[in-house]
Amino acid sequence: MALKPRQEQVLKLVVEEYIATGAPVGSRRLAERFPLGAAASTVRNDLAELEEFGMLEHPHTSAGRVPTDAGYRYYVDALLRERGERSVAPTLPIALDRARAEVDEALRETAEALSRVTHLLAVVSSPALTTSAVRHIEVLALQPHAVMVVVITTSGQVTKRVFTFEDPVDEGLAEFARVYLNERLVGVQLGTRRATAALESEELHAKERAFLDAIRPAFAGTGPGDADSLHLDGTSRLLEHMSREGVTHLNGLLALLEERYNLLELLCEALREDGMYLRIGREIPDPSLQACSLVAANYGVANRRLGTVSVLGPKRMDYQRVIANVRATADGLSAYLEEIW
C-alpha cells in the first residue's frame, strides 16, 4: 500500500517514538514535537487513516497508537528502500583475528559480539562441512570400543565425531582408515562423487568397507536438521526484553531456543534469499516467535552462500541499528572467509 508523504512521515514518527519510549503515541505529541506542518487535528486524522489501513492500533483505551506488524513492515521496507542498509554506522567491533584457527570459534565470537552490541539474541549458523575441501583427517582409537574421527577443512572448520562399536576395534583398522582417507580425500570437497567413490571403493576388503561405513556420518557435514550448527548468544537478553514488552508465555519461546530446529529451518529459508531477510510478528510461521522480529543476512565467498547472521528480538526493536550491525557482521564474516578459504 502506498501512503501519502505526510502519512508515511507520521507512521515513521510513531514507530520510532514507540521504539524509543514504549509508550503509545498521540497526535498532540507528534504535532508539538515534530515539524509536520499540520495541526494536531490533521495529524489525528492521519493516525485514524493509518489505523484503518491496519498499520496502527489502539492499545486498550489509550488515546495514542502503537504500530502493528503491518506498520513495522512498511517502516522497515521504507528504511531499506530509501536510506539504504548501511545508513547507520555499525558499532559492532568485529575481531576475528584471534579465532583464525577454527571457523566455529570465529562464529561463536561473532555471535557474542553481535549480542552485546544489540542487547538481543544473536544467532550465527555454521557453513556446512560439505562447502569446503578436506585438509586433514584423524581416526583415533580412544578406547577398545570407541573411535573419534576428526575432519579439518581448508576453511579451518574442525568437526569431531565419536563412534562406538559392539566389538573391540582393531587399532590397525583405525590406522588404515586414517592413512586411506587422507590419501583419497585431502583436497576433495565432501559430498561430491569423488568423495563418495573413495568411501565405496571396490578395492576395499569387506572389513575395511564395513568400518568406513560405520564412520561415514563424520563426512556428511551439517544439514538442515543439525541444530548444533547454530551459535546462539543472548538468550537471557531476549527473554528480559520480551518480559518488559509484557509477553507472559515465554515457555514456548525458551523451548524453541533450546531445541533450535524450527529456528534453524527459518534460517535455512533466509539462506535462500538475497539481501536482508526480515520477518516481523505473524510473518514468522512458528507461534512461539510471533511476538518477535528476525533480522538476518547471508555471508559467504565467491557468490556462494555459506551461512547466516541474524538477530532475534521484540517487534519494538531499533531496526535501523540492528540492520546495520547484522549487515556489517555478515560482510565481515565474508571477508574473513575469503581470506582463509
* Contact status, residue 27 vs residue 47, Cβ threshold 8 Å: yes
Cell digits of residue 278: 526480515
Q: Which residues pair with 301 in a beta bridge?
A: 304
Average pLDDT over residues 235-260: 82
Average pLDDT over residues 326-332: 92
Average pLDDT over residues 211-218: 90
Instruction: Give the end-to-end CA distance of the chain in Å, rounded to a whole number.
Output: 44
Per-residue pLDDT band for 32 (boundaries 50, 70, 90) equals: confident
Per-residue pLDDT band for 222 (boundaries 50, 70, 90) equals: very low
Average pLDDT over residues 177-192: 88
Residue bearing cell 544439514: 223
- Residue 165 to residue 10: CA distance in whole angstroms: 67
What pLDDT score was predicted for residue 130?
60
Cell digits of residue 36: 509536520
Task: Encode pLDDT of 101-129 as tens digits.
Answer: 567 788 889 999 999 999 999 999 887 66
* From the candidate CATH numbers 3.10.310.30, 3.40.50.720, 3.30.390.60, 3.40.640.10, the one assigned to the domain spanning 132-219: 3.30.390.60
Task: For domain 97-128+227-340, say whether CATH 3.30.450.40 is its number.
Answer: yes
Provide, rounded to the nearest whole percent, the portion of the chain with pLDDT above 90.
40
Average pLDDT over residues 124-136: 77
Q: Hey, what amino acid is at 92?
A: L
Domain segments of the chain: what residues? 5-83, 97-128+227-340, 132-219
Residue bearing cell 566455529: 104
What pLDDT score was predicted for residue 192?
75
Domains 97-128+227-340 and 132-219 share a fold: no
Average pLDDT over residues 283-300: 91
Average pLDDT over residues 171-199: 87
**Ramachandran sector of residue 33 (left: φ over 0; alpha: ψ -120 to 50; beta: rest):** alpha
* From the candidate CATH numbers 3.40.630.30, 2.60.120.10, 1.25.40.10, 1.10.10.10, the one assigned to the domain spanning 5-83: 1.10.10.10
- Residue 223 to residue 264: CA distance in whole angstroms: 10
What pLDDT score was predicted for residue 97?
52
What pLDDT score was predicted for residue 92?
54
Length of the chain equals 341
- Residue 305 to residue 262: CA distance in whole angstroms: 20
- Residue 141 to residue 65: CA distance in whole angstroms: 65
* Contact status, residue 186 vs residue 136, Cβ threshold 8 Å: yes
pTM value? 0.71
Provide, rounded to the nearest whole percent, the portion of the chain with pLDDT above 70.
87
What pLDDT score was predicted for residue 52?
94
- Residue 320 to residue 88: CA distance in whole angstroms: 7
Residue 257 has pLDDT above 50, yes or no: yes
Per-residue pLDDT band for 86 (boundaries 50, 70, 90) equals: very low
- Residue 124 to residue 128: CA distance in whole angstroms: 13
Per-residue pLDDT band for 268 (boundaries 50, 70, 90) equals: confident
Reduced to 3 states (helix: H, G, I; strand: E, B; else coil), residue 312 is: strand
Reduced to 3 states (helix: H, G, I; strand: E, B; else coil), residue 64 is: coil
- Residue 137 to residue 219: CA distance in whole angstroms: 10
Q: Report CA-CA distances (Å) from 27 to 21, 45, 51, 195.
A: 16, 9, 13, 66
What pLDDT score was predicted for residue 99?
43
Please give the mean pLDDT across all residues of the chain.
Answer: 84
